[in-house]
A and B are shown apart, each in its own frame.
Chain A
Amino acid sequence: MDELKTPLLDELEKGEWPSFVKEIKRAAAKNPGARDLLRQLEASYREKIGHWKHGGIVGVKGYGGGVVGRYSDDPERFPHAKEFHTIRVNQPAGFFYTTKKLRDMADVWDKYGSGLYNMHGSTGDIILLGTTTENLQPCVDELADVGFDLGGSGGALRTPSCCVGQARCATACIDSMEITREITMHYQNELHRPAWPYKFKIKVSACPNDCAAASARSDLAVIGVWRDALLIDQAAVREYVNNGFNIFDRVIRKCPTAAIDWDSQKQELELRTEDCVHCMHCINAMPKALRIGKERGASLLIGGKAPVVKGAMIGWVLVPFMKMEPPFNEFKDLVDKITDWWAEHGKNRERVGELIDRIGLSVFLKEIGLPPLPQMVHAPRSNPYIFWYPEEVEKHGEK
């Protein structure tokens, strides 16, 4: 092997942030694939161009996704990066591990792959970076032996993910980890064998702080919420105030709907529950004094996606409140209705949010059997181009 010269990348070993170059060099000491990856990356830095070929279709038997094929465009210069496929491994909900499990996985990956990981991919999967076509099947077989299955890719249900939820957060309104696990198990077929027009993602955040970024990064976002009054411990509020906490500047004036007030005379926090929009700000500011309500469930948001093709979308309200209790049948039933309708009407590579945008929210709601609600829109339409079904017009005429 020629000497490893990476002057540009070496610059990135300086500074305080943990260096990915150091990580790759550690792997490169043991693995020729990681070594050629480093050399190819140095070439990309020098030439300012990527050196991976277009596309790549590889996989394992019985599955239509889970592996992303990748080939170097200069296999003569970087022979061990010639085949450098990525394996997506389904992570445990909330990313909790034991060292035993991680060691089991690392043993398999040291044997069959580059030894490099991404912990984790943006969707949530454990990403095993770089192996050959020949090694795919035995690697995935042995991962299954130690308890790991593949995640999703292609026109399928992608790996669901969530925030840590009730495992270690006091504002969790729902068991985000249990929902994620249950949905993942229930939809294994939809996850492993792509059958839909395009990708479909589900993410679960246990409260509106949305630590899983579900509203922006999933087609169907489950966001925990409560619908009674939030719980106030007045003594604890007083303690915040007595300790010099400026409750007016930091909480009262920041409430988006002016739903809370501080009565200086009575030394009490007042809440108008009907005005509260569950933005979380007061709870976040005074976690020892304010808590989520007792009647808990989730809001469901539909349509979140990145820009291609019709522009980026943040999910919008589909169901303002749904109880989320095992086995989550109401939720599964809705997922089935949405994906069936979308699979039937969606064009090739049309996300569900784009299909609703094309065909119209009212048609979509009618098809999946949900009533139109004021909470679904930010403002009513400003143009008068309103469609009526013929039967509605006739009924109106009779009156």
Chain B
Amino acid sequence: MGDILVKGVAIEVDEDGFIVDPAVWSTDLVEVFAKDEGIEALTEQHWKVINYLRDYFKQYGIAPMIRKLCKDTGFSLKEIYELFPSGPAKGACKLAGLPKPTGCV
């Protein structure tokens, strides 16, 4: 649908800015996405959430339910929104390179 530039390389994203091919995910990509999502600087806490999401997805093939994410990372939902202003689905999952959430959203 469109491309974004990550270190001079064009990466395909859909209308909502999610990456189309999960294989192209990189830490550089996260830096670029973070700016779109209103995150000034990525901290250790951001990476804790991102790595957790990636590991969970690798193991189970789906994104975790939000309560599970909060429990396992130790962040409250409020803290997740402080880290990712667009929230866990549109913000964190997008940065982690997970497929776009679907259903009655």
Contact = CB atoms under 8 A, between A and B. Distances in A.
Interface residues of B, number: 25
Contact of B86 (A61, A68, A71, A189): A61
Given A59-B87, A61-B86, A54 B105 contact: no
A155 B90 CA distance: 13
Given A193-B81, A195-B67, A55 B88 contact: no
B103 interface: yes
B15 A65 contact: no
B85 A61 contact: yes
Contacts of B105: 55, 57, 65, 68-69, 153-154
A64 B89 CA distance: 8
A63 B66 contact: no
B94 to A, nearest CB: 8
Contacts of A264: none
Interface in B68-100: 70, 77-78, 81, 85-90, 94, 100
Contacts of A383: none
B87 A56 contact: no
A270 B4 CA distance: 78
Contact of B101 (A53, A57, A189, A344): A57
A387 B1 CA distance: 56
Given A56-B15, A71-B15, A64 B65 contact: no
A57 B65 contact: no
Contact of B38 (A57, A61, A68): A61
B101 A195 contact: no
Nearest to A54: B102
Interface in A309-358: 343-344, 348-349
Contacts of B65: 197, 348
A349 B103 contact: yes
24 contacts: A57-B16, A57-B18, A57-B90, A57-B105, A59-B87, A59-B90, A61-B38, A62-B81, A64-B86, A64-B88, A68-B105, A71-B15, A133-B15, A153-B104, A154-B104, A154-B105, A155-B66, A189-B77, A193-B81, A195-B66, A195-B67, A197-B67, A199-B104, A343-B67
